[in-house]
Every structure is written in C-alpha cells, then in structure tokens.
Amino acid sequence: MTSGMEQAKRPVSRWLAGPYGHPIHPILVTVPIGAWVASLVFDLSSQAVSDPAFLTRGSMWLIGIGVLGALAAAMVGFLDLFAIPPGTTAFRTAIVHMSLNLTITVAYAANFLWRRDGGGLDDAVAPGPLVLSVAALAALGVSGYLGGKLAYHYGVRVADETTQAEGYRH
C-alpha cells in the first residue's frame, strides 16, 4: 500500500476523529440527513392537512437541528480531510464534498431564518422555503454520493484490506 493511501486511512487525531477504521464523521452525518429529510416530509405534509401549524413549526426546528448536526459533522470531517494527501483525486473529491456540504448548511441556515422571521408558521410551508429545501436536499444527495465514494471507493478512513480480511477468517 502506498504511503498516501495509508495516510488517508489513519486519523489525524484518534480522540477527535475516531479510531483507525472507525471514523466518527459518518455517524454524525446521520443527524443532519435525517433531520432534513424529515423536515421535507413535514413540509410536504403541511400542504395536505387542515391545521399545518405543528408540521410547519416542526419542520423549522428539524432544519435547525440539522444545521447544528451538520456543523458538528463538519468539524470532524475537516480532520478526515487533513488525513488525505493534497493533490490526489481523493483530496479533490473531498474538497468538492466539503464545499457542497458547507453550501447546503448555509442554505438550510438561511431557510431556518426565512421561516422564523417570515411568519406564516401557522400556515402550510410557503413555496419559497419549500423549493429551497428540495434543492438543498438534492444537493445533499450529490454530496452524499461523493462522501460514499471517498469511503467506499477510495477507502478514506477505512481499515486496509489486511485488517478487513481478519473479519473473514474462520
């Protein structure tokens, strides 16, 4: 295994980024993904009920929870980024992944403020915030694909094949 590949598999800080072969970033991203998917379900459901206030307010708070979760995931994700050798295809993929995620997080933070300050929390979600949520969630799908490519294709922060083979011994 080349030294660059080995470097990308080892944490910059075991205590902050997670131990070898078991990074923290992938588990943290489930918070914003789950919150933002649920917020869109609430948004769409608010369009179909007679009293949408609970769904509209719930969606706004799910967006806020997602933003906080994304910030936590980003901090740990930066540590994973530092493990990847600069100038590599994996590093360029990680930069695009990070840039998309930061843009998505800003979009959701703006969406939260738009909803909070725009009123209408007793009505169905307005078309503008709804469209922003759909677009941000679509971008999140692209970014998630890139994150999967980093882990499953390039093996960033994944144990090397010798270590993985231990799980298949009788």
Q: Give the model confidence (pLDDT) of 95-144 as tens digits.
A: 999 999 999 999 999 999 999 998 888 999 999 999 999 999 999 999 99
Handedness of CA 95, 98, 104, 109 (dihedral sign): negative
The predicted structure's pLDDT at residue 159 = 74
The predicted structure's pLDDT at residue 56 = 96
Nearest to 98 by CA among 76, 69, 116, 114: 76
The tokens describing 93, both together, are 């993929």
Count of the separate structural domains present in the chain: 1
pLDDT-flagged residues of the chain (< 70): 1-5, 7-21
The predicted structure's pLDDT at residue 13 = 62
Domain that holds residue 77: 13-159
3-state secondary structure of 119: coil
What spatial distance separates the first Cα and last Cα of the chain, rounded to whole Å? Answer: 25
Whether 165 is in a domain gets the answer: no
Whether 144 is in a domain gets the answer: yes
Whether 164 is in a domain gets the answer: no
How far does Cα 55 stand from its chain's mean position? 23
**pTM for the whole thing?**
0.88
Whether 57 is in a domain gets the answer: yes
- Contacts of residue 97, defined as CB under 8 A and 6 or more positions apart, other chains included, come to 143, 146, 147, 150
Give the Å distances, CA to CA, from 164 to 25, 39, 65, 147, 156. 20, 37, 35, 20, 14
Handedness of CA 117, 118, 123, 126 (dihedral sign): negative
